[in-house]
Amino acid sequence: MTRAEFEALVARALQTLPRRFKRKLKNIAVVVEDWPDAQTLTEMEIEPPDTLYGLYRGVDLTHRDTSYGNVLPDTITIFQGPIEADCDDPDEMAELVRDVVMHEIGHYFGLDDTTMEALEQPDEE
């Protein structure tokens, strides 16, 4: 998949965010990179065969106060290489991209991995 096609998947995932969340996104950049570098993998304590699909860097909304301002944008990076490597077809890739974008947006709103995993679990009956 070309970079432009992959970026279109990311853009589509962002467009599917509920309006109430989109309105709250401020000072954030979403970028696509090929692969996470070794330093990032080490920093995130990720070792093969595990990989990293996306990464949020910034100050989440729960940690901002009135002194927050005049800062560079927070960044969500979506890594094309690992996503392509783990998907069998474009539909699967689009679904994974959407899941990763939503996950990283969750970090922007201050949700940790454990909370997001709980939210993703189906309700028990």
Give residues with Cβ within 8 angstroms of 26, minimum separation 6.
none
Can you give the pTM of this predicted structure? Answer: 0.87
For the chain, give the percent of residues with pLDDT over 70: 92
Calpha distance 28→76 (Å, rounded): 7
- Residue 93 has which token pair? 């890739």
Give residues with Cβ within 8 angstroms of 9, minimum separation 6.
93, 94, 97, 98
- The pLDDT tens digits for 15-41 are 988 888 889 898 899 999 999 999 999
Instruction: List, in order of start, the domains of the chain with CATH numbers.
Output: 3-120 (3.30.2010.20)
